[in-house]
Structure 1
Amino acid sequence: MKKRLLNQVILITGASTGLGEQLVYCAAQRGATIVACARNQIRLSQVIKKAHQLSGRPAYSYTVDLSDPEQIEQLVAAVTKKVGPITVLINNAGIGQFENALDIKLTVMEKMFRVNTLGAIYLTQLVALQMVAYHQGTIINVASQAGKIATPKASVYAASKAALIAYSNSLRLELRPRNIRVTTVNPGPMATDFIKKADQSGKYAQSVAKIMLDPERFARRIIASIGRGTREINAPAIMEVAARFYPLFPELGDWLVSRPVFNRK
């Protein structure tokens, strides 16, 4: 079990902190060759050093801004040349800002879509073309429970993640005959720096403390799904129940989501 991912080349975006960092460590413990990507090269260097210690195998880091298509192209070309074909892609990078829809700036909207949606889609396209040639591979797209149930002050972020979920659902059907598995991951609030950056007041983190996910435990769950054809991973359970309930009773769902008990931003 420990070396189940031996000889797998796993590319993980947003790998310098939070869930991405834990995904690196968890995959490394199972013998994978890690390719970690993020914008923070200093943090990446530290993460890669630990990954190498855990796996005993080479580990690689690349500084990349996923809002820039040219950098994405350069990343895939560099990894393919130096490391080899990417067998597992985990699109984990994401940014968010909790702000009223009428107040959020266009530059912020564009950045969220370029990183959360377009960057992930373009990187997936380039890597999937390699996977098709080898007739195997796994793509894991980290979306969000916000993409299933939008709440006040998360309109643009929710829209970017809902688009990623829809893309993943279609991609899954297209790539299934090619022996390429697509998994969508939809976490709720998680104890990472993401929440601190999205809501600098700190009130949201305090209000959802009881259902906050632990990134290390959740990373283990994601890595364990590789090779199993898992369609979706959803957490916490209470939010997934709500997501299934919402489409059946949308008006009641709107009312509940607008109440303080559910709207914590």
Structure 2
Amino acid sequence: MMGTMRYDGKIAVVTGASGGIGGSVAEALHERGAHVVLAARSVDKLNDFAEKLGSRAMAVALDVADEHSVARAFEEIEARFGRVDLLVNNAGFGRFELVADAPADSFESMMNVNYFGTVRCTRAVLPGMLSRREGWIVNVASIAGKTATAKSAGYAATKHAVLGFTNALRQELHGTGIRVMAVNPGPVRTAFFDIADPEGGYVNGVKSMMVTPERVARETLAGLDRGRAEVNVPGWLGAAARLSQALPIGLVNAFSARFLKLK
């Protein structure tokens, strides 16, 4: 599918929509004519955002880590709109910690939100999409899901899981009319690093390669327009990840130890 997708009248749900990538994607979809459902745990910021966007925006409380919250939120969305045409699984967070120092619940909480949250929301919309034989599922993973670096074991594992899930789901849904796309951002200038890197050391080390959430949103919609299976932002980081997978692991580890210990 090439060209520009039409979003007029489409129902788009964006999780983690209170700011950052989710907020920028939601705004871009709204500008293209979609009815946008802004979903996050707290609706206070979302209500202000929905009011700013206008009548085609709606805020819904949704905790992707809670099965009952997910069920209630999508029941509310279905009651209001009757369907979901586009799901953007964006909710997530990270902590940069050494494996030896990180508590077990750090791994568990990241996996529950980043991976299982994606699974829960996807399963909530799949029956309707399958019955209509159309829809888009966009999973925001990360370049970290392709190339892990020191102090990101827990976070990278969640994004590896999201990519594995996304790639398998795409195969399962081939021929059903449902498209599945992964978005893999590198470092993005968002509040993500308030939790992941509170000391600011990593951010200072990667400032030159950081991108804006608005750029991620633009490239996400461009990927939808072109019917892409995957979008890497920036593209050169995706190419570097593919190269690292092709090289001998010993060489990659030696390079990583010398140049990529930025956290």
Give the TM bin, normalised by the shorter chain: over 0.9
| 1:223-257, Cα deviation, whole Å (9 max, x unpaired) | 23325321100022332122111121122111111
Equivalent residue runs for 1:205-224 within 5 Å? 205-224=203-222
The residue that corresponds to 2:39 in the other structure is 37
The equivalent of 1:96 in structure 2 is 94
In structure 1, what is the Cα distance between the partners aligned to 2:183 and 2:56? 27
Residues 187 and 210, structure 2, Cα contact 8 Å, conserved in 1: yes
> Alpha-carbon deviation of 1:264?
1.1
Structure 1: distance between partners of 2:209 and 2:28: 22
Supply the distance in 2 between the matched residues of 1:68 and 1:177 (Cα, whole angstroms): 31
Partner residue of 1:25? 27
Q: CA deviation at 1:189?
A: 0.2
* SS state at 1:240 partner: helix
Structure 2 unaligned segments of length 5 or more: list them.
none
Match of 1:82 among 80, 83, 98: 80
Map 1:40-51 → 2, pairs under 5 A? 40-51=42-53
Q: Deviations over 1:74-110 (max 9, x none)?
A: 1111100112200000001111000001111122211
SS of 1:22's equivalent?
helix
Contact 1:9 1:84 in 2 (8 A): no
Contact 2:141/2:183 (8 A) holds in 1: yes
1:1-265 matched pairs, under 5 angstroms: 4-52=6-54, 57-226=55-224, 228-249=226-247, 250-259=249-258, 261-265=259-263
Contact 2:219 2:233 in 1 (8 A): no
Unaligned runs of 5+ in 1: none
1:2 Cα deviation after fit: 9.4
Alignment RMSD: 1.5
SS at match of 1:217: helix
Q: What is the one-letter code of the residue matched to 2:255?
A: L
Q: Is the Cα–Cα contact under 8 Å of residues 99 and 153 in structure 1 kept in the other structure?
A: yes
What secondary structure is seen at the aligned counterpart in 2 of 1:255? helix
Normalised TM-score (structure 1): 0.94
- The one-letter code of the counterpart of 1:22 is S
The 10-residue stretch of structure 1 (157-166 or 119-128) with the greater mean CA deviation from structure 2: 119-128
Letter in 2 for 1:11: V
Q: Would you say the 8 A contact 1:66–1:115 is kept in 2?
A: yes
Instruction: Give the aligned length.
Output: 260
> Would you say the 8 A contact 2:30–2:56 is kept in 1?
no
In the superposition, the TM-score normalised over structure 2's length comes to 0.95
CA contact (8 A) 1:182 1:229 kept: no
Amino acid at match of 1:254: N
Identity %: 35
Higher relative contact order, structure no. (Cα contacts within 8 Å, ≥ 6 residues apart): 2
Q: The residue matched to 1:258 in structure 2 has which SS?
A: helix
Q: Secondary structure at the match of 2:94?
A: coil
Q: Is the 8 A contact 2:13 2:87 kept in 1?
A: yes
Asked if the contact 1:89/1:138 (under 8 Å) is kept, the reply is yes
